[in-house]
Structure 1
């Protein structure tokens, strides 16, 4: 079966490029190109089969479904995200389309569609880069992801228009889908944490979303996105996204492999890719100045722009619908941009430190509310991380210590705590700019209650680096992590389960020493 051999070959090259820090999809594209190039010397036939095309289509649907799962309105409803994405899209099209029209002697429609495909940035690469540096929750990471989601929505609109599908009269049923949300939430709650969760995702993305929308004359890609978005506000939406991650990646292998098998890039494709690479810095510069215009600091604008300075796999998806003859040149363009963008982003902070004296003069005098310097004023006890542990610590201290403050990097969580009357503000302990602007003149003790070990280590190191000499205490599940936290500067790190056992035993001891309510011994 040729598909099995091709996928094995793709796995080998994907693993090879991953070892040098590049996204595996570069290897998948290379595998397709190599298979296409080896066809003639080996006297074999290499062409995309119906099975491979079907796998590729399923991969696209699952990608859009997982994008929908992240489609929370609060992540995209902000001026810098909406304005930055729309202005960048419009300016890129206005500049690129005429250039492509005159330089490459194309029709206006082809030039415009190519400009649209080149305007997108890679969701896969940016998310992986930000996640590897633990910056998805940092302010610049949230801005970049919001812009990427907006670009994905624009790509979906373009695909729907380019497909030219005429909806049937049954398409009006789509407007009643929000009524199914309570049922979908119950199904997600009942699906558990194992294979049923994955099957539910496949059912919604492929059957109800893909086939269902196609049956009424609508884009199956739109259906997958809509069903994902309907579950976005469920507490377990990200668990569902993670459970589908590997399945989606496997199917997307077929999509990238299919493009490569379509044919080797010729001289004109290579020239197109090299020209696109030369103008790639202009794409990043445009993002940088647009974000500055929306009052972001130079540092946040630079880091967000750098993570967006690449071309996108969504451009390939758009091209597969609207410009199939341009798939190979665009695939080569995307792959080369990844070869440049991935290693450069590893040194993003170093690059900013080297060039910040040139970049900061472009900042405006007014800054974004999320980037204002934080002063803790008269706060004596600081609790970093307001999940269950942090909230319990805050509530326990609130009676005896009114000058306690909580910090958390989740805006929704912060808003809920504020409504409940707690003194909690937004801040991300993993964002170095937070530490640079933090003023804590009266703090005597800090409780590190973040969920991840890296956040606790970063916080402990930066507290000591700022000259804080007060008491730092944390909790963790494992002894080796406790040792790391203490080595980073914390005075003490308690093992959560051990302390829970002590607390339970103390309740038993307390009950045995206290008289019974009715006076019995």
Structure 2
């Protein structure tokens, strides 16, 4: 890494990490989006910021980022990680279910914004081909900024959040075709120039041939992913179960993201598209939740690099040279897109408030504008000077996304999480909504799951044994690999919306660990745990379970019940005495709790037990 001003080989990395360590806590404290902090840090720490004073004050060189190009290359990884995480949350089935919003609303937005913005640029004196490239590049929005901002405001699972996600996904899928179209348009322009204004179809042949490796690469990526990913992670999970460490799982997850991105690039596709496909493939496996936990820290840090890179790219001298032109173009393209996205959203059935919020957050330009417009410049399309102005306008518009989200929340007040005006495809629930969560899917957990299914109750199971998970999924059960003792895993598996958690593991220490984590996240949760014996049951009640089921007590009661029934005692009397004895034991266990503390038993459950 270039040091700059004798700053040292790793100086830029240290400066970025120091900025991240200061910016995120500071902005969180003042309830300001950290995205704005990273963007501002990029402007301040880049060549246009403190570096201007480095000649006068040499010590400032230690506080600046000298190698902006390397920051931008790292930022591409951040976008790839974000798309990978989006793919993990999607799965092919959900993508198919959302096809009307993704390929209807999303592609309508891309097409409408491309055509209208292209027409605007033609009115500004740009050629038809240059206007088309500018329109395609600026029609896209920023997945890397919009999704984190929506998540910070708790808007991802609302109707507007799902509609926004659908449009962003359509845009991400459109990047590769747009880049190919740029190549085709460049060939058309060059062919027309060489032929004196006449079109020669032969010039299209090299451009169209670029589709072949892209299509082959895409097919190979999907095929190899289906064949390799599940066995690879199963092997890593088995090694982890033998105590060989979490680092192997992290390494395998990083390999998938970076490897799929590089493979896609080699085939002529974008790195982020390759990562998205890898995420979609892994979403079908039992390891998706564990992979999410492994990748999350890297995604956040690399997205921070991306935001800093955007800030570094803001040329303040160029903005100062033509402020009216840059800010005016930023306002114009944002306003045009807001109007078009609002109209498209209403056309596809979104209610008024949802359409407003979706349009506002997607109005500014996105990170792929730099990729597409940069490709246009390399292909010799359009004026480099005007393209640079457009890129500055795009950068400034990206800075406004957190502000747009704030304005949207003020305008729309409260947008319901579900609304009858929204197309049904947008309301596809995530696979963790309102289910019973079973921790441990061995013999006990499997039987609990069978009983829940028999009575029409849906469940999601977690188990740390890869063989148990594979067996459960082979039987059609909704079971995932992971350690439920971690709060992150419980959150990813839907504890926030779970109706109950049942802990069935036979290791008392792991049962205690899960109970503590679950109760910390949901004080109101129905929490039922398997206990080794009476003493363990007492401890579980102290930890806050709704019910503890000791193996020894239950086995004794079952033996007594069977014996009495076989001896001819009426079934009703036997069941009544068993329930009475069970309640007596429960009261004894609860009596051992200190300071008169009582178990946290939801009112509805107490009423059910009394009946």
User: TM range, normalised to the smaller chain?
Assistant: 0.5 to 0.7
TM-score by length of 1: 0.66
- The SS at the match of 1:452 is coil
Structure 1 residue 502 and structure 2 residue 512: aligned? no
Alpha-carbon distance, 1:150 to partner? 0.8
**Are 1:55 and 1:252, in contact at CA under 8 Å, matched by a contact in 2?**
no
5+ long unaligned stretches in structure 2: 1-7, 185-206, 241-245, 378-386, 428-432, 440-446, 461-475, 477-492, 501-514, 530-544, 568-611
Residue 341, structure 1, aligned to residue 421, structure 2: no
* Residues 251 and 42 of structure 1, relative CA distance in 2, 3 Å threshold: same
In structure 1, C-alpha distance between the alignment counterparts of 2:51 and 2:283, rounded to whole Å: 45
- 1:42 is matched with 54
The answer to whether the 8 Å contact 2:113/2:139 transfers is: yes
Aligned ranges 1:58-457 → 2 under 5 Å: 58-73=77-92, 74-75=94-95, 77-103=98-124, 105-162=125-182, 172=216, 174-180=218-224, 181-192=226-237, 194-207=246-259, 209-215=260-266, 219-262=270-313, 263-264=315-316, 265-267=318-320, 268=322, 271-277=325-331, 280-322=334-376, 325=388, 326-335=390-399, 337-347=400-410, 349-350=412-413, 368-369=423-424, 385-388=434-437, 395=451, 451-453=494-496
Residues 452 and 405 of structure 1: CA distance in aligned 2, closer, same or farther (over 3 Å)? closer
Q: Deviations along 1:127-156, whole A, 9 cap, x unmatched?
A: 334434544334443232122111111123
CA deviation after TM superposition for structure 1 residue 199, in Å: 1.6
Q: Is the 8 A contact 1:69 1:237 kept in 2?
A: yes
Q: Is the 8 A contact 2:370 2:391 kept in 1?
A: yes
Are the structure 2 counterparts of residues 162 and 344 from structure 1 closer, same or farther at C-alpha, using a change threshold of 3 Å? same
Q: Distance in 1 between matches of 2:270 and 2:521?
A: 48
Structure 1 residues 345 and 206: CA distance shift in structure 2, 3 A? same
Q: Pick closer, same or farther for the CA change 1:249–1:385 going to 2, 3 Å.
A: closer
Query: 1:72 aligns to what SS in structure 2?
Result: helix
| Worse-superposed segment, 52-61 or 384-393 | 384-393
Judged with a 3 Å threshold, the aligned counterparts in structure 2 of structure 1 residues 189 and 274 are, in CA distance, closer, same or farther, namely: farther
**In structure 1, C-alpha distance between the alignment counterparts of 2:520 and 2:179, rounded to whole Å:** 50
Cα RMSD after superposing both structures: 4.5
Greater C-alpha Rg: 2
Give the distance between the partners of 2:74 and 2:453, measured in 1 at CA: 55
Whether the 8 Å contact between 1:18 and 1:24 is mirrored in structure 2 is: yes
Q: TM-score, normalised by structure 2?
A: 0.58
Tell me if the contact between 2:365 and 2:395 (Cα under 8 Å) persists in the aligned partners. no
Count of residues in correspondence between the two structures: 426
Contact 2:360 2:405 in 1 (8 A): no
Distance in structure 2 (CA, Å) of the matches to 1:303 and 1:60: 23
The CA deviation at 1:99 is 1.4
Which deviates more from structure 2 when the two are superposed, residues 244-253 or residues 299-308?
Answer: 299-308
